[in-house]
Structure 1
Amino acid sequence: SPVGVLSNVGMVGASLLIWVACGLIATCGSLTYAELGTMIPQSGAEYPYLKEAFGPIPAFLFAWTSSIVLKPSAVAIIGLVFGEYLIRPFFENCQDVPSDAVKLAAATCIAFVTCINCISVKVAERIQICFTIAKLTALLVIIGAGFYALSAGMTENLNNSFTGEVKWSTVGTSFYQGFWAYDGWNQLNYITEELKNPSVNLPRAIMIGIPLVMLVYVMTNIAYLAGLTMTEMMASRAVAVTFGVKLLGSMAWIIPLGVAISTFGSINGYIITGPRIIYTAARNGHMPEVLAMVHTKRLTPVPAVLFNTAIALAVLIPNDFDSLVNYFSFSMWMFHGGSALALLVLRWKQPERKRPYKVPIFIPVIVVLVALYLIIYPIVSQPAWEYLYATLFIASGILFYVPFIHYGINATCFINVIRPATVFLQKLLQVIQPGNYPK
């Protein structure tokens, strides 16, 4: 993402401003979601908010897009970064790391994290805490090395930070790359039902977490710009490794290890939260029944976790990081904007509804306007097929919703196939509907 932001905006100072702007907007988005999450304390984030404000069709389209593309793509993208950084030290003298090795490492990581999440939510939770501490430590090492470089006089990039021209035609794409790094600001809302005292802890976590992330990200980018020349930075596929080799010498191995730890924790976070959308949608009849089931003993949503992982492994095959990020960001901001608009609609429709946390009205308005910009501007300024594909895929969900959910068409042959398959998966995975636990 540092290279993606810089290459698309074309100016060092402007790239740092984009990192700050992305952090501020992510904070606005997360505060908007804090009100929604405390007012509608259901897991699934955007799904229950869109359903409450606009009805079942937008909610279904979100569940459809998120389950099939967004969350699995996020896991796949982070998996590719994990593989790139884990494998690259073994190919120090090669410009390109073998893509098959990267994919294999990514697939192994995803499969391992999936097993953990199927076995125990508590274990996954502890791993998330430990790996968050580890990733912050790795980033602090980079920041420390960068500020050492600044003290040694390596200030060329920063002294000339506002020279040159901004690439206005691709500024929107640079925001996509920046927002990708901040993605996760809405993750707590996917597990609202599993939080302790969400009306207090959800806003508190957001107000502490997102500004801290913004501070760390801006300082990390300053460190990269201090330690590397523009040529070195723009030519690197693994910028942190290039930075570590140049500034840390024999201790450079810390960086790929730190990034691998960081991405492992991020994959774990997505696999904790992503399947909850599938689970919530299935519970409302918008997904196959088996995806709303949990393990009889461990109470984990095993079918939803495995479904999410299977698609993530399939998404690994193309191995195109930038296209995946742009596709993900374009689609996701449609639903972020829709959720912020849902808050405004609910303020108007249900003004007396209990709101344990209430955000100032200008904040969701900012999120809606930013979402409109991020959806429209990249298409106008730099048209690409991926935006059309994303729109068509989201709209294609209606082809499934209208006959099978709205009209409830259940062809006999379909039932004869799906029912035995559901029973088979129940026995294989040892799962049942929540509320039917054996005593």
Structure 2
Amino acid sequence: MSGHGVYEKLTGDNGVRHRKGEETSDQGSQYGSVVIENEVELKKEVGLIGGISLIVGTIIGSGIFISPKGVLQMTGSVGLSLIVWAGSGVLAMLGSLCYSELGTLVKQSGGEYAYLNEAFGPIVAFLYAWNSIIVIRPSSIAIICLTFAEYVESFFPSCGTPQIPMKIVAAAAIVTLMIVNSLSVKAAARVQILFTAAKLIALGIIIVGGIVKMAQGSTSEFKDSFKGTTKSPSIIALAFYQALWAYDGWNNLNYVTEEIDKPEKNLPRANIIGVALVTVVYVLTNISYLTAMTSAELLKSSAVAVTWGDRVLGSAATILPVAVLFSTYGSANGTVFSGGRVVFVAGRAGHLPEFMSYIHVKLLTPMPSIIFTCSIALIMIGISNISTLVDFFSFTAWLFYGVTVASLLVMRFTKKNEKRVIKLPIVIPILFLLCAIYLVIAPIVEDPQIQFLYAAIFVVGGLVFYIPFVHFKILKIDTITTWLQMFLEIAPSQHMPEN
């Protein structure tokens, strides 16, 4: 049987719409298989405010609630830790500026995949997709859900911090998110809205509380703030990893370039405003933490925001961990939603088995891609802890951020006659690329760790699958596809038009 298996093409709520058509078989008639009459086009509905909201809502997740401890521990001082937080915001700003030029030059959705494909060809683009699907997205989900589990544990302090129960809670969070996202796109969107509001409330409470504490004279941690500062370049790079994890998402607006109204104006404006806003919020939040506890107390805390709440809010402290739980769960929900779509697009492009791009014929959700993404995240929870995953995630992500900005430099020559709406001074992409190289190389040179080897193996290991399965297409899985279609009730979706 052909790769399309039992059901004909369907369209639904995942960026496409239902079309009227003809029934093609008995099985097809049961689910209303259709013949597509018109192509589906993406609407340019994301304006400036929408773009800023997408960036801020994506960046602010669990990182600000877990990374302060790691950054302070690695930098050795309050002063350098705050510089790392501000510097990470500046680096994210440089990256977002580079992506603004890329997004207005290569006017396609898909972010890094589109730019790497344009500059370096399908192999490099596939390696990015491979690592995004297998490493970057699942590890992000695992990190966020492990953070969620840590804050759940904070409600049971007498139990200590056993790893197995915490991992069970994290796994349960992933499974529930997989179910929600598989059953309904609207339900997943409503969860995102609710939990985003909770995260903003939590950070607002922390910032206001910090201002009050400083007004009361709680500033002892900011005196002689550079005492104990580390001088190791590799440790400083790892500290940036911890902070940059909290900033991850600064590039997400480029995934929807085709849907931005007036991208030549709104893409760079939204990037600049969004990243600047998050940087201010993060620096103020870190200052607030240190008004309520000493550096030593912050390093001993397994849930920094909860400790802060106990010190500042007193009997009302329960509000904060509940809000943080909402924040981390909502962030994980957004990552599952977008991560599933990455698998969906890769399957549709032929870089994964085609059934990964199928949708449920009744629920109209990309169920196979969501199940796949969450399954990888579950495996990562079983083999690692949060600190290891952050380093693992950051090494791989910044490797590809650097290569993506290198594609901008390449296209300055290969597309030198193309009209550019935005053309940055060449020093900006060069500076960002040098920073990315430093973040990738410095920890390996001065302090080799096994997770960096794992990440490198994953990056190159994609070729093992690309050559036989993508280039030569030697794998025939029609029987598996047909079985999955019947078991999961899934069918091919309409291909989106290419620009």
TM-score above 0.5, yes or no: yes
CA shift for structure 1 position 50: 0.9
CA shift for structure 1 position 116: 2.9
Take 2:382 and 2:230, find their aligned partners in 1: how far apart are those partners? 34
Note if 1:375 corresponds to 2:465: no
Note if 1:186 corresponds to 2:243: no
Contact 1:190 1:277 in 2 (8 A): no
Q: Which has the higher helix share?
A: 1
Structure 2: 5+ residue runs without aligned partners? 1-66
CA shift for structure 1 position 219: 0.3
1:419 counterpart residue number: 478
Take 1:99 and 1:118, find their aligned partners in 2: how far apart are those partners? 28
Contact 1:80 1:319 in 2 (8 A): no
1:203 counterpart residue number: 268
Farther off after superposition, 316-325 or 163-172: 163-172
CA shift for structure 1 position 15: 0.6
Q: 1:83 aligns with which of 143, 149, 158?
A: 149
CA shift for structure 1 position 304: 1.3
Which structure's CA Rg is the greater one?
A: 2
Q: Map Cα deviations across residues 224-281 of structure 1 (whole Å, 9 max, x no partner).
A: 1111012211111211111111221101112211211111121122112222322222
Note if 1:99 corresponds to 2:163: yes
Note if 1:232 corresponds to 2:297: yes
1:115 counterpart residue number: 179
Q: Map Cα deviations across residues 348-402 of structure 1 (whole Å, 9 max, x no partner).
A: 2113335555444333222211110001111112111111121122111111212
Take 1:103 and 1:49, find their aligned partners in 2: how far apart are those partners? 37
Note if 1:25 corresponds to 2:91: yes
Note if 1:433 corresponds to 2:492: yes
Take 1:422 and 1:358, find their aligned partners in 2: how far apart are those partners? 46
CA shift for structure 1 position 105: 2.3
2:220 counterpart residue number: 156
Please give the residue correspondences for 1:37-186 in structure 2 after superposition, counting only pairs within 5 Å.
37-91=103-157, 93-94=158-159, 96-168=160-232, 169-186=234-251
Q: Map Cα deviations across residues 35-71 of structure 1 (whole Å, 9 max, x no partner).
A: 3234334443211211111011111111111111111
Contact 1:191 1:273 in 2 (8 A): no
Take 1:10 and 1:60, find their aligned partners in 2: how far apart are those partners? 39
Q: 1:217 aligns with which of 271, 277, 282?
A: 282
Task: Give the structure-2-normalised TM-score.
Answer: 0.81
Contact 1:43 1:277 in 2 (8 A): no
Take 2:121 and 2:86, find their aligned partners in 1: how far apart are those partners? 35
Q: Which amino acid aligns with 2:275?
A: I
| Coordinate RMSD, CA, aligned | 2.2
2:368 counterpart residue number: 303
Contact 1:187 1:273 in 2 (8 A): no
1:293 counterpart residue number: 358
Contact 1:43 1:280 in 2 (8 A): no
Q: Name the CA shift for 1:274/1:197 in 2 (closer, same or farther; >3 Å).
A: farther
Q: Name the CA shift for 1:309/1:193 in 2 (closer, same or farther; >3 Å).
A: farther
Note if 1:284 corresponds to 2:343: no
Note if 1:396 corresponds to 2:461: yes
Farther off after superposition, 137-146 or 288-297: 288-297
Q: Name the CA shift for 1:399/1:205 in 2 (closer, same or farther; >3 Å).
A: same
Take 1:355 and 1:77, find their aligned partners in 2: how far apart are those partners? 38
Take 2:357 and 2:108, find their aligned partners in 1: how far apart are those partners? 14
CA shift for structure 1 position 188: 2.9
Q: Name the CA shift for 1:197/1:293 in 2 (closer, same or farther; >3 Å).
A: farther
Q: Name the CA shift for 1:49/1:78 in 2 (closer, same or farther; >3 Å).
A: same
Take 2:426 and 2:362, find their aligned partners in 1: how far apart are those partners? 44
CA shift for structure 1 position 340: 0.7
Matched residues, percent identical? 47
Q: Map Cα deviations across residues 105-149 of structure 1 (whole Å, 9 max, x no partner).
A: 222222222233234434433433332222111011111222222
Note if 1:347 corresponds to 2:406: no
CA shift for structure 1 position 338: 0.7
Take 2:457 and 2:478, find their aligned partners in 1: how far apart are those partners? 30
Contact 2:80 2:229 in 1 (8 A): no
Take 1:43 and 1:124, find their aligned partners in 2: how far apart are those partners? 22
Contact 2:111 2:255 in 1 (8 A): yes
Take 1:272 and 1:27, find their aligned partners in 2: how far apart are those partners? 25
Take 1:426 and 1:195, find their aligned partners in 2: how far apart are those partners? 35
Take 2:238 and 2:167, find their aligned partners in 1: how far apart are those partners? 25
Q: Report how many aligned residue pairs link the two structures.
A: 429
CA shift for structure 1 position 207: 2.5
Contact 2:145 2:170 in 1 (8 A): yes
Q: Map Cα deviations across residues 311-360 of structure 1 (whole Å, 9 max, x no partner).
A: 11111112411111001101111100011111121222113335555444
Q: Map Cα deviations across residues 261-307 of structure 1 (whole Å, 9 max, x no partner).
A: 11112112211222232222222211111112233455432221111
Take 2:246 and 2:305, find their aligned partners in 1: how far apart are those partners? 14
Farther off after superposition, 337-346 or 112-121: 112-121
Take 1:294 and 1:353, find their aligned partners in 2: how far apart are those partners? 38
Task: Give the structure-1-normalised TM-score.
Answer: 0.91
Q: Name the CA shift for 1:214/1:195 in 2 (closer, same or farther; >3 Å).
A: same
Structure 1: 5+ residue runs without aligned partners? none
